[in-house]
Amino acid sequence: MVQCIKFLFRLLNKYFTYSGVSVFLVFLLSLALSIVIWLYSKSYYDNLADERFERRISESLENLEDKIYLYENILHSGIGFFQGSDNVSAKEWHDFVDALAIKKRNYGMQGIGYAVMLKPYEVEAIETKMQKEGIDSFSLKPKGEREIYSAILYLEPLDKRNKEAIGYDMFSEPTRRAAMEIARDTGLPAISKKVTLVQEIDSDVQAGMLMYLPLYKKGTKPKTVEERRKLLKGFVYSPFRMNDLISTLDVKRSALEMKIYDGEEMTDQHLLYDSFTSYAKKAKYSTVKKFQVNNLTWNVYFASTKEFDDATTSPYPLLITLVGLIANFLLLLIILALFKSLKNLKTQTQKTKEQTSYMLHQSRMAQMGEMINMIAHQWRQPLSSISTISGTLTIDIELDNYEKKFFLEQLQSIDNLSQHLSSTINDFRDFFKDKKQKQLATAHQIVDETLQIIGSSFESKNIEVITEGDHNISIYTYVNEIKQVLLNILKNAEDALLEKRDGDFKIWILWYQIGENVTISIEDNAGGIPDKIMKKIFEPYFSTKHDNNGTGLGLYMSKTIVEEHCNGTLSVTNTERGANFTIEIPTATDEIDN
């Protein structure tokens, strides 16, 4: 292992220019990841085995529950048989049970019987009755004086074991009596705790239990404990040898070993069934489940078998880990290769940022040149007017021919023109301020302030601007940058219109809001953009103007500003009238409170 690690370090140092510490740290990271993969895969397959174990338990308990429900129904059918007859003889009971074919159908019942409740004075009569029905040896057992007796009259099939139970007084034995009293007082099926059946006549002695269902006098429906005790005639019941019962269940014996206890105490005294082998002590999976059986709560102890543990011990976690180690080594090589090129990528990214910044600066400078031309055009007429007024006033002074009122009016005109010039300076100065914080403004305000900058140029060239939109639509964005985009598009529209030369120059500016986005549309009637250059107009340094009239950066930077700075989109299409530029940006007004 140590030689493998040394070989790995030599290989990495040969092809990658990094320190041994860096390589070692990355290797440790890969190793840790492999351990995590192994732990996760082992946990995954262990959970699968746990689920499979629990599923087998659930299936076994469901089968046992179904079997108990079947026994209850069979006893109910016996009650119905008695209630539908005036008198049930031994022969009739034999025929009834024989029709159920409980042995043939492998129900797991030792038999189905009927035990009558007797007062002391009734014992002799019942013994005589049973002897007349053909059971010559019938007598109540055990002998002795008691306040009340029960006697098993019928128990079918009447095999060798069940013959031993005929005449037995189950009410004389405390465990059986406790279950019989519960059945009597509730009117429901009740199960006894662990007993040894009187049918155990050979060496194959099994733990047993009994299920009782009370039979009340015909035609009565007692509702209280008092009435039930008074109207009780006897019990339809069934004895069970537990090993025989469990053998009929669809228990996954290849997967489960099982112990059943008749109550909370998990001791040999309460052990009803035990299929544990010596392997159970070291079983990988085990659990105790509570199982409600009529009046009792059984504790059922399950353990996995050796076959189950072997089948669920998966080699996949180890295989996955080995594959993971190989994959991690390959990934290590890839990561180190990426690390090696990271510095070059950062350098290239920095160059790209500097180039973008330079192009943005070029675009701003180009716009500044256009602005200076606009300022010169806007100032030409006001300066001419000031010069004319001052010249007139000077002549009047030299000729000593002036009126105070006229002088004041002319001076006011000069002041108004000066204010207009000052306002123009403020507009251009605000435009070129480097405001990198978002501001809240209306779409109308942004459009109007942009037109104040370029409007006089449009007027001088007879370009009509038509605006339309809701004055209350607000945007939280980089206002000056959106103005720069609008100015670029409007200047391009102006150039396109002047090339048209038919004198009908129009620009439509429309703004509206749909959902959380605001759209500003600028359309001209210059005829549109040729298809062959439509796909190129947003590329850097692409221009259809002469070299001295354009940098080819205006629309490229406009798209960059809208999409990267303002999280919007800038697109262009041709309409019947001309080119239509569409700016779509989010209102982002929800950011103001944040």
Percent of the chain with pLDDT over 90: 41
CATH number of the domain at 54-309, please?
A: 3.30.450.350
The bridge status of strand 286-293 relative to strand 439-442 is unpaired
More confident residue, 30 or 514: 514
d(CA 14, CA 181): 89
More confident residue, 591 or 298: 298
HSE-CB at 594 with a 13 A cutoff on CA atoms is 6
CATH number of the domain at 353-591, please?
A: 3.30.565.10
Task: With a cut of 80, say whether residue 204 has pLDDT above it.
Answer: yes
3-state secondary structure of 580: strand
Judge whether 523 and 508 are in contact, CB under 8 Å: yes
Cα distances (angstroms) measured from residue 277 to each of 245, 302, 460: 19, 12, 108
pLDDT confidence of residue 164: 92
Cα distances (angstroms) measured from residue 407 to each of 385, 391, 415: 15, 12, 12
At 280, is the pLDDT very low, low, confident or very high (cuts 50, 70, 90)?
Answer: confident
Task: With a cut of 70, say whether residue 214 has pLDDT above it.
Answer: yes
Helix (H) or strand (E) holding 408: helix 404-431
d(CA 267, CA 208): 16
Judge whether 518 and 511 are in contact, CB under 8 Å: yes
At 163, is the pLDDT very low, low, confident or very high (cuts 50, 70, 90)?
Answer: very high
d(CA 266, CA 593): 67
3-state secondary structure of 144: coil
Mean pLDDT, residues 3-21 taken together = 56
Q: pLDDT digits over 49-61, tens only?
A: 889 889 999 999 9
Paired tokens of 406: 């006229």
pLDDT confidence of residue 588: 74
Q: pLDDT digits over 61-96, tens only?
A: 999 999 999 999 999 999 999 999 988 999 999 999
- Residue 516, number of CB atoms within 10 A of its CB: 10
Residue found by looking up tokens 């950011």 in the block: 591
d(CA 571, CA 545): 20
pLDDT confidence of residue 460: 81
In SS3 terms, 254-307 reads as CCEEEEEECCCCCCHHHEEEECCCHHHHHCCCEEEEEEEECCEEEEEEEEECHH
More confident residue, 237 or 497: 237
pLDDT confidence of residue 450: 86
pLDDT confidence of residue 289: 94
**φ, ψ dihedrals at 264, nearest 5°:** -70, -35
Mean pLDDT, residues 15-28 taken together = 60
The domain locations on the chain are: 54-309, 353-591
Task: With a cut of 90, say whether residue 539 has pLDDT above it.
Answer: no
Nearby residues of 272 by Cβ (< 8 Å), 6 or more positions away: 194, 207, 209, 242, 260, 261, 262, 298
d(CA 313, CA 46): 8
More confident residue, 289 or 24: 289
pLDDT confidence of residue 318: 61
| pTM value surpassing 0.85 | no
Task: With a cut of 80, say whether residue 538 has pLDDT above it.
Answer: yes
Q: Is the peptide bond before 157 cis (omega within 30 degrees of 0)?
A: yes
Judge whether 235 and 114 are in contact, CB under 8 Å: yes
d(CA 524, CA 458): 13
DSSP 198-245: TT--SS----EEEEEEEEEPTT----SHHHHHHHEEEEEEEEEEHHHH
At 308, is the pLDDT very low, low, confident or very high (cuts 50, 70, 90)?
Answer: confident
DSSP 545-568: S-TTT--S-HHHHHHHIIIIISS-
Mean pLDDT, residues 95-103 taken together = 93
Judge whether 261 and 272 are in contact, CB under 8 Å: yes
Query: Which long-range CB contacts under 8 A does 341-344 form with residues at least 24 apart?
Result: none
